[in-house]
């Protein structure tokens, strides 16, 4: 195949993919949201059967867009990190200090790809110990394909902040237990836990958005764990009894830093 016809093929695949996404989301997806390389990577995922058709966006943000898609085996969620607008400096802070990612080069693109891989690996670790998180299916470049967390009719579960809970105390206790299992068995601290990054459906909380989760040996692990617990307590304290954050921190981890004063931990 000549270079010319190869390029023609590539252009055609890119524009096919662009049309597929544009048709569905013409107003929200501007031309510059997905670069050609992202569109080509999506095209390859379609060819391999990980995605068979594109549904609408579940969420569009500064860092990522999440789409509901069909695949050969059922519905999936496709999270696409936006290479141009993702908060690269913030990402870098979490990646540096994580011994699993010491060898990566530090260009903007490398950081975003490493972040996608990190979210895949964090979800795998959490899933392996039985936690309710989306099963990660495949990742490539800045794209993560995972299980869609949805009801039996395929409607994605809402974020905890907009869900009605019959028994808030039971939900709070389940979340605290998941934070413990995540730390003690999966050896991870979520690092951005809040009513935005927990979905709720069928009386069950689900943890999502784990790109920033760090291992307990990360220098910020204990302050991040304290912040996660405080966020959850803040959300629930008006609806049910909560445990003091400091007690939970000490119960979950016997890390020496966990015994310091809370204010000192926050400033670490
Ligand atoms: N696997 C999933 N199943 C159902 N809905 C999902 C799934 N993953 C994400 N969502 C929806 O998309 C929203 C955004 O996802 P997520 O929190 O992972 O990305 P984000 O907030 O953009 O992440 P970041 O801020 O790190 O870029 C979620 O609040 C949720 O409503
Ligand atoms: Mg989020």
Q: Which ligand sits nearest to residue 68's alpha carbon?
A: 1
Query: Which residues are part of the catalytic machinery?
Result: 192, 209
How do residues 58-81 score in pLDDT, each as one tens digit?
A: 998 888 999 999 998 899 999 999
Ligand nearest to the CA of 210: 1
Model confidence at 5: pLDDT above 60: no
Q: What is the pLDDT of residues 7-35, one digit of tens each?
A: 456 677 777 777 676 655 554 555 456 78
In tens, the pLDDT along 28-53 reads 555 456 788 888 899 899 989 999 88
Residue nearest to atom 4 of ligand 1 (CA): 149
- Residue 265 has a CB neighbour count (10 Å cut-off) of 19
How much is the pLDDT for 15? 73
C-alpha span between 68 and 243 (Å, rounded): 37
Instruction: Say which residues have a Cβ less than 8 Å from residue 195's Cβ, sequence separation at least 6.
Output: 159, 160, 161, 231, 235
HSE of 106, CA atoms in CB hemisphere, 13 A: 7
Question: Which of 33, 51, 58 best tests ligand 1's pocket when mutated (most atoms within 8 Å of CB)?
Answer: 58
Domains and CATH numbers, the chain: 3-147 (3.30.200.20), 160-266 (1.10.510.10)
Beta carbon of 61 within 6 Å of any ligand 1 atom: yes
pTM of the predicted model, to two decimals?
A: 0.90
Percent of the chain with pLDDT over 70: 87
């Amino acid at each position: 195949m000549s270079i010319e016809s190869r390029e023609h093929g590539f252009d055609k695949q890119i524009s096919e993919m662009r049309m597929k996404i544009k048709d569905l989301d013409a107003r929200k997806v501007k031309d510059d949201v997905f670069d050609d390389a992202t569109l080509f990577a999506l095209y390859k995922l379609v060819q391999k059967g990980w995605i068979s058709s594109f549904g609408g966006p579940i969420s569009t943000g500064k860092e990522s867009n999440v789409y509901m898609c069909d695949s050969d085996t059922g519905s999936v969620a496709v999270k696409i990190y936006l290479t141009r607008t993702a908060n690269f400096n913030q990402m870098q802070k979490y990646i540096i200090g994580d011994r699993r990612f010491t060898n990566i080069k530090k260009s903007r693109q490398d950081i975003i790809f490493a972040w996608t891989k990190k979210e895949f690996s964090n979800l795998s670790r959490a899933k392996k110990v039985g936690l309710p998180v989306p099963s990660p299916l495949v990742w490539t470049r800045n794209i993560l394909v995972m299980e869609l967390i949805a009801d039996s009719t395929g409607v994605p579960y809402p974020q905890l902040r907009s869900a009605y809970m019959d028994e808030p105390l039971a939900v709070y206790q389940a979340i605290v237990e998941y934070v413990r299992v995540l730390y003690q068995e999966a050896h991870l601290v979520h690092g951005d836990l809040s009513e935005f990054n927990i979905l709720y459906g069928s009386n069950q909380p689900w943890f999502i958005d784990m790109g920033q989760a760090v291992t307990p040996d990360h220098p910020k692990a204990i302050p991040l764990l304290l912040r996660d617990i405080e966020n959850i307590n803040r959300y629930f304290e008006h609806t049910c009894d909560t445990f003091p954050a400091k007690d939970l921190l000490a119960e979950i981890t016997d890390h020496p830093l966990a015994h310091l004063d809370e204010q000192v931990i926050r400033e670490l």
